[in-house]
Amino acid sequence: MKYPRIIGWSIVITMWALMGCAMTEMKNSAIHHTDECSDCQEVCNTVKDMIEWVGHDVESGKLDSTIADTYIDNLEGIIIDLGVTR
């Protein structure tokens, strides 16, 4: 073979490009699947309930408001990650 390095690197670069395209497609497919997922809606409903429970705990004095804010921010982050609008 006259150009073994060129052939080798072209194979490597082609594989990287194909894997990059495949990963992007898998990510887009997962996001699309998440929007239609009934389990995701159930998780979202549970998270909303938990936010409500944190509010009740603050009102009853069982939980400090600064800690409650952190909990609520994290729970809202879960809703955002699921792609479900609140």
Please state, as a whole number, how many other Cβ atoms lie within 10 Å of the Cβ of residue 30. 10
Q: Which residues, 6 or more positions from 48, have their beta carbon under 8 angstroms from its beta carbon?
A: 79, 86
Chain centre to alpha carbon of residue 76: 12
What pLDDT, in 10s, does the model give residues 31-62? 555 555 667 788 888 999 999 999 999 999 99
**Rg of the chain over all Cα atoms, to the nearest angstrom:** 23
Per-residue model confidence (pLDDT) at position 27: 75
Q: Are the C-beta atoms of 37 and 83 separated by less than 8 Å?
A: no
pTM comes to 0.54
